[in-house]
Amino acid sequence: MTASSDRSQAALAWDTPAAAAAYRDRDMRLARQLIFPAVLDGVGTPPYPGAAVLDIGCGTGALTLELADTGGWSVQGVDPSAHMLDIARADRPHPRVGYRLFDGRSLAWIPDGTIDAAVCCLVYCTDPDDLRLAALTAEIHRVLRPGAPYVLADLNPGAVGEQFATLRYGEPGASYAEGAPVPTELRRLDGGSVTTVCHYRSLPAYTAFLTGAGFTAPATDTPFATGPDRAAGPGRAPYMVLSTARPGAGR
């Protein structure tokens, strides 16, 4: 069973003003509870004053601000949506944060081996192009210092169709092939919802992106929600967090 074409056509494209506005008003309880702490733990503390972390696909800047404000990092947030970045600059300015538009593939303005950590959250699932993701992963590897961590958080491919408090990734009972479009429902703060299109990839596919670019084999965590924010069904985790590093001497 696959998602209907009508549902996919009605979904918002990620690079539109409507998607940016919807993302601005999304309910982020689960992301804040499960992804943010895992990312902060994965990158650790800045190894020296002014140490730089790259937030790839920063969107409206929620995690970017957390990395600077709570984590103490200097952060460069990059995103291919000018509309998302407009919101990030307006809603989440910070003296240690800079936002920049990029093409989703190249980090050519960053010299080799100059970034102290990198994070990428809920981005790979939005891109249908494996070649672009492979190129981006290779670029992240290139700009990181040897030993620097890379934390990749995304929707859990093992939780397709599960209804969570703030999202549902795919239709209940559906199965999806590698790279197939998956209607993804995001809860808004006003209680409504918006549907966007993500793309299914298995855990081995994510691992292949990382190891193919030269990263170490990732450690995988699937943090669970508790209390009223837990899943309505059998309790699968909504997200997965992959932690890896560029091989070489530690920080």
Q: Provide the b/e sequence for 1-27 (b: ≥16 CB within 10 Å).
A: eebeeeeeeebbebeeeebbebbbebb
Residue with tokens 């992106």: 209
Residue ranges of E strands in the chain:
52-56, 74-79, 97-101, 117-121, 149-155, 167-169, 181-187, 193-199, 219-221, 239-245
224 or 43: which carries more pLDDT confidence?
Answer: 43
Question: Helix or strand or coil: residue 156?
Answer: coil
* Chain segment 145-165, per-residue pLDDT in tens: 999 999 999 999 999 999 999
∠ CA 28-36-241 to the nearest 5 degrees?
Answer: 105
What residue spans of 82-212 are helical by DSSP H? 82-91, 130-143, 203-212
> What tokens appear for 120 in the block?
């990428």
Question: Helix or strand or coil: residue 220?
Answer: strand
How far apart CA 200 and CA 195 sit, in angstroms, is 15
* Chain segment 166-212, per-residue pLDDT in tens: 999 999 999 999 999 999 999 999 989 999 999 999 999 999 999 99
Rg for the chain, CA atoms, rounded: 17
How far apart CA 55 and CA 78 sit, in angstroms, is 6
∠ CA 100-103-109 to the nearest 5 degrees?
Answer: 55
For residue 215, the model assigns a pLDDT of 98
How far apart CA 144 and CA 59 sit, in angstroms, is 21
Q: Confidence class of residue 229 from pLDDT cuts 50, 70 and 90?
A: low
Question: Helix or strand or coil: residue 144?
Answer: strand
For residue 118, the model assigns a pLDDT of 98
| Average pLDDT along the chain | 91
